[in-house]
Structure 1
Amino acid sequence: MTALGLWGIATELPDHPAVIDPDGEVVTYRELADRANRFGRGFQSLGLQAGDTVVMALPNSADLVALYFAVLQTGLYVVPVNWHLVGPEVAYIISDSGAKIFIAHSRFTDVAVEAGTDVPHRFGVGDIPGFQPLSALGDGGTGRPANRTAGAPMVYTSGTTGRPKGVRRPLTGQDPDAVPPASLWFFGIFGLKPFDDHVHICGSPLYHTAVLNFVGISLQMGHTVVLMEKWDPAEMLRLVERHRVTHSHMVPTQFHRLLALPEEVRTGYDLSSLRTMIHGAAPCPLETKRRMLDWWGPVVVEYYAATEGGGTSITAEEWLRKQGSVGRAWPGSVVRVLDDNGDDMPVGEPGLVYMKMGAATFEYHKDKAKTLAARVGDLFTLGDVGYLDEDGYLYLCDRKSDMIISGGVNIYPAEIEGELAVHPKIADIAVFGVPHADWGEEIKAVVQPADGVEPNDELTEELLAYARERLAKFKLPRTIDYIDELPRDPNGKLYKRKLRDAYVTEAAGTTTTSD
């Protein structure tokens, strides 16, 4: 069988298409490997050693993929940051991760310049003041980097404190040319085999953990990857037909927008190449799932998992028997539902969902307390509430009590509350999610104005302008309502669920929508 892994395939099938860039350029395996080698040499020429960190803020592109593989062969950690963040948010991640190099695209110049002031080395795609051109990284040398050893992604995932924390696993010291057995096993869960004429389409930003994993593993297994710079439902259908796409990783919001296309558009493309369209990252409404199965057939597969490890999956056929379930534990994974004392809940009774994946370990970078708080023994929890049925299928009843999931992205109200609470015209504030037909949830803020402050449209605009300076756009409240006093107990605990439920069940208060 043809060798697996980027460099093995580049040797045996050098002209096999690896990446189709958003502009349509086809990058072969040999070209992608050469680019990854050049960047890897560049890292080492700057003095980076195994365990050092590279942060990048780049749109979906072959350059991003090549940098990812450059890190994987030089023993480094790579942190792909969400480029919707504002400068101080990116600066925090750069500082917290101890990054030695920051690589950004000129599209994000303002953020890059503000965030990258203290990084030893800065490289840019396009012209960014104070950044060297990425083309200069590793230029002038030849061959593979020296002292090659496996690196790893280090993805930042927020916690209930609002500050993001890097999920950092120990480096394995393995040969980076070898495809990890876990990667082959993971794709095997979904019936994805090496080569087999597979083509993966990536329509979501590569700063998401699952998105990056699916692209990386696809390439290691000889699957051509089609990159979209910005996801568009009709354009995705066109690319599926054009490139005979077989599999992808999606979120329910994308399903919703696909279903909203006019009938003549939805039926105007040949989608017969689709084999495994995997979705996760957020709850999928039952009706949306049913309609996608009616349209695409049994190729729609669901999973529930976490950056930290472990998960479940469910095929289309299983889901039709167990509607609403997110599936059973993967082989080698453990999923249990526990009460507050750490004891197993009876079948059908909800509790906190705990998971683990084999003997794999992780820690939240620089946050031992958070690491320990999420664990019971060797199990960890995301704080999701669910139950197991008599056949071991997991059903999720609720998510973290405060977390908002909008368009498949986790948003943590504590961070938003922390930024806005210091505004002089706010006495108290609560932020939570309310249902949204397209995004799943949208962000609502309920504000108790300071004494003597009149709640009106002018105040709303002032607060939103203040928030825009401190928070990424996707974290901004979509609506702000006002209340005389937030419901708190004598110890100061906010009854946020009670407040949120009132907005879900009845249209309370006067609402002003932000831009």
Structure 2
Amino acid sequence: MSLSAAAILAESAARRPEHPAVLYGTESVPYRELWYSARKYAAVLRDHGIGPGDKVALLLPNIPEFPAAYFGVLALGAVVVPVNTLLKSGEIEHVLRDSGAKVLVCAGPLLGEGAKSAAAAAVPVLAVLPGADADIPRLDELAAHARPIDHYVPCEPTDIALILYTSGTTGQAKGAMLTQLNVVMNVDTTMLSPFDFQPDDLLLGCLPLHHSFGQMCAMNACFRAGASLVLMERFDAEDALEVMERHRCTVFMGVPTMYSALLDAAELDGRRPQLDRAFSGGSALPVKTLQEFQATFGCQIYEGYGLTETSPVATYNQKAWPCRPGTVGRPIWGVEVEIARADVEGGIELLPTGELGEVVVRGHNVMAGYLNRPEATAEVVVDGWFRSGDLGVKDADGYLTILDRKKDLVLHGGFNVYPREVEEVLTGHPAIAQVAVIGLPHEVYGEVVCAVVVPRPGATPGPALAREIITWSMERLAAFKCPRSVEFVDAFPLGPSGKILKRELTATYASGRPTPSTGPRAGSATSH
């Protein structure tokens, strides 16, 4: 049996050769041309010694060269190692060394960090786009004169297709190995439901392609359907409104911070793209944000759940069942999602419906393991189940509600406080645009709740507003759940997928010092 993720692009190029695969600025790249470019890139990489099983790192932003290089690597039966474009040279070097990459394909504008890290790891560099040193060969220029490979290399379903590095919330980033089967099954399944991609859909591709959400759910599922991906190199809410309206986008995918930014932009911008549907993931979407977006843009948001290690989608609200805001829907086809006791190590003890525990996942989407880390793999893949580290509840209809990461749980005087529950309540305050709830050390209670707030435009951050928020919360939450302190910031520190980095907030406010990355504002209050 053979199976290759390269078929995602190859088959659509055969079925819809002249249909636009990628729209980028004024460029329109049809499927035939994109697959032709991928095969020419593959020929150059083959000439540089790349073959089946070899790792090729990609340090590329959201540009048409990303899918060309990505599918060029897959066409050789080689392994794609996408690299977060925000990483610094030491972090990139870790990815190159840990993955065993044989080549780094780097965008010219990113060579400042990329070339330095590649030199330290003794990895050859191929550049794309201007900005490269004259001594660094240009993959795109070499490909222009290359004879494309004829066909993609057949692979076994268990062969590794991708190594996706986690964001490193617990030490150095780990490489999650996804097989050809992981990729093809997750893309095929989600293309049909929940995404329901049609050949004439146009999807705004503003999620970073180096991340699993943007790569698998946006790019790959879109290409599998033969639809069009409207690429944005980086997300900006005002630009996104303009691009979606100009290209008549029908689908939007984003993380909660993007939805909040689009709502803020819409207050000053009357443009309303004619979206048919939208999909949220990456972190919890406040119900208030969901409702406001649907009212403003007139389209349904479907919220889902997944992890890098689950290829990435595990559950989603889907058209086949009623959408339930506040939940992340039901398991996708072929995947089991259950709740297990969080305190049991080395085994899986499933809990009855309605009980709170750790979310565990089993099915075609579970990774092959962490590269070079058998012990770490054994900790999270137990009896075929992947332990997510997330706390959740599953109801009688199969809908999953995520409460929090186990590590984000606030332990206040013997009580468990789930930050998401508090955040859902606080987003109802008229002065709060976004909020992140964290736990801070306390001599008596162990931990106390702290609310870090991005205020709405027109609100005045300061001690008075902080006290008002605390008082307001005490009218709506049990005392042990209420924030004891409120801090104001201009923006949150975000990870590669747009997820709020709560560990940075905790480190900042636990030490009592503000961090420039979050843009602190004067004015906080503490309740005693």
TM-score (norm 1): 0.75
Query: Structure 1 residues 6 and 346, CA, compared in 2 at 3 Å: closer, same or farther?
Result: closer
Query: Structure 1 residues 299 and 262, CA, compared in 2 at 3 Å: closer, same or farther?
Result: closer
Please list the CA deviations of residues 207-252 of structure 1 after superposition, one character each: whole Å capped at 9, or x if unmatched.
Answer: 1111011212212321111100121222212222221212232111
Q: Which residue of 2 aligns with 1:288?
A: 289
- The match for 1:343 among 341, 349, 363 is 349
Query: Structure 1 residues 390 and 182, CA, compared in 2 at 3 Å: closer, same or farther?
Result: closer
1:397 matched to 2:406: no
Report the AA paired with residue 165 of structure 1. Answer: K
Please list the CA deviations of residues 319-349 of structure 1 after superposition, one character each: whole Å capped at 9, or x if unmatched.
Answer: 76x4411112122111111112332223332
Matches within 5 A, 1:245-260: 245-260=249-264
1: CA distance, partners of 2:339 / 2:45:
44
Please list the CA deviations of residues 435-479 of structure 1 after superposition, one character each: whole Å capped at 9, or x if unmatched.
Answer: 443645653325899xxxxx9x8xx79xx7xxxxxxxxxxx6766
Do the aligned partners of 1:286 and 1:323 also contact (CA within 8 Å) in 2?
Answer: yes
1:314 matched to 2:312: no
Q: Which residue of 2 aligns with 1:277?
A: 278
Structure 1 position 378, deviation (Å): 0.6
Structure 1 position 507, deviation (Å): 7.1
1:122 matched to 2:149: no
Report the AA paired with residue 162 of structure 2. Answer: P
Please list the CA deviations of residues 136-194 of structure 1 after superposition, one character each: whole Å capped at 9, or x if unmatched.
Answer: 4445332325672357222101455311111113456x9xxxx9455232211125244
Q: Which residue of 1 aligns with 2:147?
A: 142
Q: Which residue of 2 aligns with 1:418?
A: none
Report the AA paired with residue 217 of structure 1. Answer: A
Report the AA paired with residue 258 of structure 1. Answer: L
Aligned residue-pair number: 433
Q: Which residue of 2 aligns with 1:63?
A: 65
1:166 matched to 2:165: no
Structure 1 position 382, deviation (Å): 2.0
Structure 1 position 29, deviation (Å): 1.6
Do the aligned partners of 2:109 and 2:132 also contact (CA within 8 Å) in 1?
Answer: no
Do the aligned partners of 1:326 and 1:393 also contact (CA within 8 Å) in 2?
Answer: yes
Structure 1 position 78, deviation (Å): 1.0
- The match for 1:155 among 164, 170, 175 is 164
Query: Structure 1 residues 363 and 5, CA, compared in 2 at 3 Å: closer, same or farther?
Result: closer
2: CA distance, partners of 1:434 / 1:263:
25
Do the aligned partners of 1:165 and 1:364 also contact (CA within 8 Å) in 2?
Answer: yes
Matches within 5 A, 1:454-469: none
Report the AA paired with residue 40 of structure 2. Answer: R
Structure 1 position 105, deviation (Å): 1.8
Unaligned runs of 5+ in 2: 1-6, 410-418, 421-432, 440-446, 455-490, 493-499
2: CA distance, partners of 1:263 / 1:477:
24
Q: Which residue of 2 aligns with 1:234?
A: 238
Do the aligned partners of 1:351 and 1:385 also contact (CA within 8 Å) in 2?
Answer: yes
Query: Structure 1 residues 312 and 58, CA, compared in 2 at 3 Å: closer, same or farther?
Result: same
Do the aligned partners of 2:75 and 2:151 also contact (CA within 8 Å) in 1?
Answer: no
| Secondary structure in 2 matching 1:164 | coil
Do the aligned partners of 1:299 and 1:316 also contact (CA within 8 Å) in 2?
Answer: no
1:186 matched to 2:190: yes
1: CA distance, partners of 2:213 / 2:521:
32
Which shows bigger deviation, 127-136 or 5-14? 5-14
Which shows bigger deviation, 185-194 or 241-250? 185-194
Q: Which residue of 1 aligns with 2:469?
A: none
- The match for 1:203 among 184, 206, 217 is 206
1: CA distance, partners of 2:251 / 2:365:
29
1: CA distance, partners of 2:55 / 2:307:
22
Unaligned runs of 5+ in 1: 414-429, 450-454, 465-475, 482-503, 509-515
1:132 matched to 2:133: no
Structure 1 position 108, deviation (Å): 1.9
Q: Which residue of 1 aligns with 2:476?
A: none
Do the aligned partners of 1:40 and 1:145 also contact (CA within 8 Å) in 2?
Answer: no
Query: Structure 1 residues 290 and 115, CA, compared in 2 at 3 Å: closer, same or farther?
Result: same
Q: Which residue of 2 aligns with 1:112?
A: 114
Matches within 5 A, 1:388-467: 388-402=394-408, 435-437=452-454, 439=492, 443-444=504-505, 445-446=507-508
Report the AA paired with residue 126 of structure 1. Answer: P
| Secondary structure in 1 matching 2:284 | coil
| Secondary structure in 2 matching 1:282 | coil
Structure 1 position 262, deviation (Å): 4.6
Do the aligned partners of 1:447 and 1:480 also contact (CA within 8 Å) in 2?
Answer: no
Q: Which residue of 1 aligns with 2:496?
A: none
Query: Structure 1 residues 132 and 287, CA, compared in 2 at 3 Å: closer, same or farther?
Result: same
1:88 matched to 2:57: no
Query: Structure 1 residues 345 and 506, CA, compared in 2 at 3 Å: closer, same or farther?
Result: farther
Report the AA paired with residue 245 of structure 1. Answer: C
Do the aligned partners of 1:40 and 1:74 also contact (CA within 8 Å) in 2?
Answer: yes
Q: Which residue of 2 aligns with 1:488?
A: none
1: CA distance, partners of 2:509 / 2:185:
51
2: CA distance, partners of 1:102 / 1:285:
39
Q: Which residue of 2 aligns with 1:15?
A: 18
1: CA distance, partners of 2:525 / 2:349:
34
Matches within 5 A, 1:207-226: 207-213=210-216, 214-226=218-230
Structure 1 position 380, deviation (Å): 0.9
Do the aligned partners of 1:41 and 1:145 also contact (CA within 8 Å) in 2?
Answer: no
1: CA distance, partners of 2:399 / 2:266:
35
* Cα RMSD after superposing both structures: 3.7
Please list the CA deviations of residues 33-78 of structure 1 after superposition, one character each: whole Å capped at 9, or x if unmatched.
Answer: 1210110001111111111111111111111110011112111111
Report the AA paired with residue 331 of structure 2. Answer: A
2: CA distance, partners of 1:349 / 1:12:
48
Do the aligned partners of 1:72 and 1:149 also contact (CA within 8 Å) in 2?
Answer: no
- The match for 2:372 among 366, 377, 384 is 366
Do the aligned partners of 1:57 and 1:82 also contact (CA within 8 Å) in 2?
Answer: yes
Query: Structure 1 residues 354 and 70, CA, compared in 2 at 3 Å: closer, same or farther?
Result: same
Do the aligned partners of 2:52 and 2:77 also contact (CA within 8 Å) in 1?
Answer: yes
Which shows bigger deviation, 154-163 or 252-261? 154-163
Query: Structure 1 residues 507 and 162, CA, compared in 2 at 3 Å: closer, same or farther?
Result: farther
Which shows bigger deviation, 250-259 or 310-319? 310-319
2: CA distance, partners of 1:55 / 1:249:
25
Structure 1 position 360, deviation (Å): 5.0
1: CA distance, partners of 2:450 / 2:362:
28
2: CA distance, partners of 1:246 / 1:375:
38
Query: Structure 1 residues 358 and 169, CA, compared in 2 at 3 Å: closer, same or farther?
Result: closer
Do the aligned partners of 1:300 and 1:315 also contact (CA within 8 Å) in 2?
Answer: no
| Secondary structure in 2 matching 1:268 | coil
